[in-house]
């Protein structure tokens, strides 16, 4: 019997490995359907059919994206071209640009840091000439890989094309799928399973939908603040920083680095660098004391130290995807851990019956 069980497990793992592209597509579709289901239910309660509600969400997303692209893409392209034209003189005069910072440090500390940018700039052409053959080899390898892996690229494009289709059908059948899963649970265990599933849904909803809302608001605040500072590509940097905030701390770190670089390129070493830091500090205060408590609240139930450890572990195991999934998975595991702890405290091992 054990051999049969091990054999089935190995076959199952092999099938999962072979079908991982399809399973990844299904997992992404299920995640999007889970996020969109409350909005679909809300539209249904307003009198729309299930199909009409889903179609309304899809059309709103499509036309909203198209409007954003048409309104902002020309400005993005113009600012990117300006940065491209400014990049070469900026690198050529980088030592003069940061000289005020060196003088500032020397004035207040008595120590003059030697950054060695002049030597670096003088050696840059030689370094590029030496490394150019490797760059050419890398480009050739990349082109060959694209040609030999054309089927893989076509599969990726096909998967992206099928994603809305999968999301549509999962959304359409979501309530039936949940009811079918509930019906498979043995009758004796249904109260406990429903209680745990409700708690898992509450915590996941609080984090996923709440974090997406907070990220959207922060993207707007970052963009407005960086526009007031006057740096180029303020809106793209603000939107990227807000979008990356779905992974706590990541969006802020990336935004600060990009904002400081763009401010240094346009204004040099001056107060604009301080204002960039002020923008991110103020938005972080708004997020910490207003947005997250009001929108997400304490329903996720994770200590900040646990969040940081989860992010480190997730990033070490799966990189950016691990950081993205770390907190939802940790929240779910905390629900199961709490249930297990409750069972343990009710067991005879924890509280044995008193001897008569």
Kindly report the three-state secondary structure assignment for every residue of 136-169. HHHHHHHHHHHHHCHHHHHHHHHHHHHHHHHHHH
> pLDDT per position in the chain (356 positions), as tens?
567 767 777 777 777 677 666 777 787 888 888 888 888 988 988 888 888 999 899 899 888 888 877 877 777 777 677 666 666 666 666 666 666 666 666 666 666 666 555 554 455 455 545 555 665 566 566 555 544 554 555 566 666 778 888 889 888 888 898 888 888 888 888 888 888 888 888 888 777 777 888 888 999 999 999 889 888 888 888 888 888 887 777 788 888 888 888 888 777 777 888 899 999 999 988 887 887 777 765 556 667 677 778 878 877 877 767 777 777 888 888 888 888 888 788 777 776 665 55
Is residue 288 one of the residues assigned to a domain? no
Side-chain half-sphere CA neighbours of 43 within 13 A: 17
Q: Are 232 and 78 in contact (CB under 8 A)?
A: no
Q: Alpha-carbon torsion 146, 152, 156, 161, what sign?
A: positive
The pLDDT of residue 222: 92
How far apart are the C-alpha atoms of 282 and 287, rounded to whole Å?
9
Q: Are 283 and 225 in contact (CB under 8 A)?
A: yes
* Helix or strand run (H / E) with residue 221: helix 190-229
Core vs surface per residue 326-336: b (16+ CB within 10 A) or e? bbbebbbebbe
Is residue 266 one of the residues assigned to a domain? no
The pLDDT of residue 62: 87
How much of the chain is helix, strand and coil, in % rounded to 5?
85, 0, 15
Q: Are 247 and 320 in contact (CB under 8 A)?
A: yes
Is residue 169 one of the residues assigned to a domain? yes
Ramachandran sector of residue 319 (left: φ over 0; alpha: ψ -120 to 50; beta: rest): left
Q: What end-to-end distance do the CA atoms of the chain give, in Å?
A: 42
Is residue 341 one of the residues assigned to a domain? no
The pLDDT of residue 146: 47
Domain that holds residue 33: 19-113+126-184
Is residue 280 one of the residues assigned to a domain? no
How far apart are the C-alpha atoms of 194 and 179, rounded to whole Å?
11
How far apart are the C-alpha atoms of 50 and 168, rounded to whole Å?
10
| CB-based contacts of 166, cutoff 8 Å, min separation 6 | 25, 26, 29
How far apart are the C-alpha atoms of 209 and 38, rounded to whole Å?
10
Ramachandran sector of residue 352 (left: φ over 0; alpha: ψ -120 to 50; beta: rest): beta
Is residue 58 one of the residues assigned to a domain? yes
| Residue 350 burial (10 A CB sphere; 0-12, 13-18, 19+) | exposed
The pLDDT of residue 132: 53
Is residue 321 one of the residues assigned to a domain? no
Is residue 44 one of the residues assigned to a domain? yes
Tally of domains within the chain: 1
Residue with tokens 């059919």: 49
How far apart are the C-alpha atoms of 200 and 300, rounded to whole Å?
9
Residue with tokens 């679909």: 40
């Amino acid at each position: 019997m054990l051999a049969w069980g091990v054999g089935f497990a190995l076959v199952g793992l092999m099938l999962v490995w072979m079908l991982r592209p399809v399973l990844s597509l299904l997992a992404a579709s299920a995640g999007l359907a889970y996020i969109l289901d409350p909005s679909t239910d809300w539209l249904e309660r307003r009198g729309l059919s299930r199909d009409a509600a889903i179609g309304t969400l899809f059309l709103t997303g499509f036309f909203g994206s198209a409007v954003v692209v048409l309104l902002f893409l020309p400005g993005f392209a113009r600012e990117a071209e300006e940065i491209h034209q400014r990049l070469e003189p900026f690198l050529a005069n980088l030592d003069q640009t940061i000289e005020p910072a060196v003088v500032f440090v020397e004035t207040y500390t008595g120590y003059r840091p030697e950054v060695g940018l002049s030597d670096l700039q003088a050696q840059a052409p030689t370094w590029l000439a030496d490394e150019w053959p490797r760059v050419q080899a890398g480009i050739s390898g990349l082109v060959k890989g694209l040609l030999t892996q054309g089927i893989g690229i076509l599969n990726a494009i096909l998967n992206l094309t099928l994603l809305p289709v999968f999301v549509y059908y999962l959304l359409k059948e979501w309530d039936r799928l949940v009811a079918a899963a509930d019906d498979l649970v043995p009758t004796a265990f249904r109260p406990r399973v429903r209680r745990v599933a409700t708690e898992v849904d509450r915590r996941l909803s609080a984090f996923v939908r709440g974090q997406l809302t907070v990220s959207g608001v922060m993207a707007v605040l970052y963009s407005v603040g960086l526009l007031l500072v006057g740096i180029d590509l303020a809106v793209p940097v603000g939107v990227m920083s807000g979008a990356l905030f779905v992974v706590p701390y990541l969006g802020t770190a990336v935004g600060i680095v990009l904002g400081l670089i763009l401010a240094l390129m346009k204004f040099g070493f001056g107060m604009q660098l301080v204002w960039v830091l002020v923008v991110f500090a103020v938005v972080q205060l708004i997020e910490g004391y207003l947005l997250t408590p009001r929108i997400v609240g304490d329903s996720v139930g994770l200590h900040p130290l646990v969040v940081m450890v989860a992010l480190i572990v997730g990033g070490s195991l799966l990189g950016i995807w691990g950081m993205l999934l770390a907190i939802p998975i940790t929240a779910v595991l905390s629900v199961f851990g709490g249930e297990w702890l409750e069972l343990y405290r009710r067991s005879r091992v924890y509280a044995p019956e008193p001897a008569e």
